[in-house]
Chains A and B, each alone.
Chain A
Amino acid sequence: MSTAVAINAGPRRGWRSAGTWIGAVIVGAALVCAIFAPLLVPHDPFAQDLNRRLLVPFWMEGHNPDFILGTDQLGRDYLSRLIWGCRISMLIGVTVTIVSALIGITIGVLGGFFGGRIDDAVLFAITTRLSIPVVLVALAVVGLLGTSMTLLVLTLGLLLWDRFAVVARSTSMQVRNLDFVAAAWCAGCSRFRVLSREVLPNIASHLVVVATLEIALAILLEATLSFLGLGVPPPLPSWGLMIAEAKDYMFFSPWVIVIPGVALFVLVLGINLLGDGLRDAFATRSRT
């Protein structure tokens, strides 16, 4: 059964699918939170007050209406930290993806377009990269050089380019033999012009899909590293760090780890839904 049939007979895909829209709404809300975090936070996310530690969220008895999601073990407003954490997650997700896209697309297009020895080297680089345990190496780098946002972004960016490279390589390999590329060569275009004007625009839609999935992966990894204590430095409210800090209280007040975890889960799910939807939308469009 070919995919074309699946699209005609199957459930709604692309922009007609509810999943895509749910994803788009989640990502949109996260972007608003990330960009306008300083205006949105009801309290200072860094202000501690030991007199109001571990206040319960709104659905539990005895909550304080000023602190809708309660407070953490140092009395900091949980909602404000959650919003600020969204800013950090999105910032890291997007910047890591930019770094890894630059590396991966360059490598992948070179390999796929020129083939031969260059492609052998590219394949070798991808194989080597895949054999490196990402979490361990990222932990080691941050552990050795100290925690900072810049270092974290560069480390993850240097480790996560493989999917960009794989997709850029295989798609540019397909595009290289198409007529319009041959036409560009015949018209006397330079290599650079053929690559930037003919090849890149035609593989861009695939790369956009990879980029969304990569943002989700980077956000999950950042949370994991922060949870292990070697990611975003405290007192910044990364969701992973919030879960790590709340871990000691989770058996008495489970909501302290439930709230940041749900936020993380929903954001990553939303980005993936949007990414899947975009992929289907592009697939449908290229067929018509």
Chain B
Amino acid sequence: MLRFLVRRLIVALLVAATVMTLAFILTRLSGDLAISIAGPNATASDIEAVRKAYGLDRPVLEQFFDWVGRAVTGDLGNSYFFQTRVSTLIAERMPVTLTLGLTGLSLALLLSIPMGILAAVRENTSFDRAVQMVALIGQAMPSFWLGLLLMIVFGLTLGWLPISGTGSWEHFVMPGTVLAFSAVPALTRLTRAGMIQAMGSDYIRTARAKGLSRASILLKHALRNAAIPVVAIAAVQLGFMLGGSIVIEQVFALHGVGFLAWESIAKNDFPVVQAVVLVLAVIYVALTMVSDLLNAVLDPRLRA
């Protein structure tokens, strides 16, 4: 178990280091940052001043190692636009994104696990086919469009829910639902496939032979095994959701990390953009690690 943990940790650190390098290269793609920051009306001396002020006159490698050195200690630099520390900005915005992501994931699990179980139990019935249809629809639905439709129906026509902002829990209902929709197909399919496989296995036949109740067989024996891939994917899906929330935050004007990134891209605020990419990637790497560990705890066969 310890060897498994150490190896997993080393891979995670290597991935984080690679993403760090990529995030740095990403912001240097446009060539001369100073020109973009100074704006279209800047004179040559303005650009020179910007270059000095932000340390862009130093060799690229020096800038890179300076950034990495600081980022490792949690200092992600200063925002050009907001004139504050990037880490403060991200910390301020993170609760909104996390609330959104966790709401989305909870809703998705609440929907997909029962749907997956029922579809598996009633395999090849019309209910099963309806569930698979829902999964197909969820896969094809553009999230930003679904968000706008919900706004028209529940925000304007019915007036049940607020259209934008983050004042109360009601503000998270529509964005959370939209985000959940993106994870439902994968989670439902996995639950269904896992349950079908588990229900056909020998230990379920044994449990049946022992005369256990149907509910006990389904929930205690089959679900426990079917849940392993679902738990793994749920953690990974949360990572995808945090990265994908940029679209939904923009649609519903939620001022989370995704919105911050979107604003910063428009304002050429490079330190913020590269920091958000890095933070989201690190969260994802951490979540996949958690999911692997959970798997190893749930299924001893995977610890080898």
Q: Give residues in A with beta carbon < 8 Å to B.
A: 1-2, 6, 9-11, 124, 127-128, 130-137, 139-141, 143-145, 216, 220, 223-224, 227-228, 230, 240, 243, 247, 250-251, 254, 257-258, 261, 264-266, 268-269, 272-273, 276
Q: Which of B27, B142, B276, B285 contacts A131 (CB 8 A)?
A: B285
Q: Could you say which of B40-48, B194-202, B294-302 contacts chain A?
A: B194-202
CB pair B137–A269 under 8 Å, yes or no, is yes
CA distance in complex: A9, B200 (Å): 15
Main secondary structure of the interface of B (DSSP, over half): helix
CB pair B27–A144 under 8 Å, yes or no, is yes
Contacts of B156 in A (CB 8 A): 251
Assess whether B104 is interfacial by the CB under 8 Å rule.
Answer: no
Nearest A residue to B15, CB-CB: A128
Q: Which of B140, B200, B281 contacts A268 (CB 8 A)?
A: B140
Contacts of B268 in A (CB 8 A): 144
Contacts of B124 in A (CB 8 A): 6, 9-11
CA distance in complex: A145, B11 (Å): 32
CB pair A132–B19 under 8 Å, yes or no, is yes
Contacts of A11 in B (CB 8 A): 124, 129
CB pair A127–B284 under 8 Å, yes or no, is no
Contacts of B143 in A (CB 8 A): 224
Count contacts on B: residues with CB < 8 A to the other chain: 53
- B121-144 vs A, Cβ < 8 Å mask (1 yes, 0 no): 001100001000000110111111
Q: Could you give 30 example pairs across A and B, Cβ below 8 Å?
A: A1-B199, A10-B124, A124-B14, A124-B15, A128-B15, A131-B239, A131-B281, A131-B284, A132-B277, A132-B281, A133-B244, A133-B246, A133-B281, A136-B280, A137-B277, A140-B265, A144-B26, A144-B27, A144-B268, A216-B139, A220-B142, A223-B144, A227-B144, A228-B144, A228-B262, A243-B148, A250-B152, A254-B152, A266-B140, A268-B142
B242-278 residues at the A interface, CB under 8 angstroms = 242-244, 246-247, 250, 258, 261-262, 265-266, 268, 273, 276-277
Nearest A residue to B267, CB-CB: A143
CA distance in complex: A154, B43 (Å): 33
Contacts of B145 in A (CB 8 A): 243, 257, 261, 264-265
Contacts of A2 in B (CB 8 A): 200
CB pair A133–B280 under 8 Å, yes or no, is yes
CB pair B26–A140 under 8 Å, yes or no, is yes
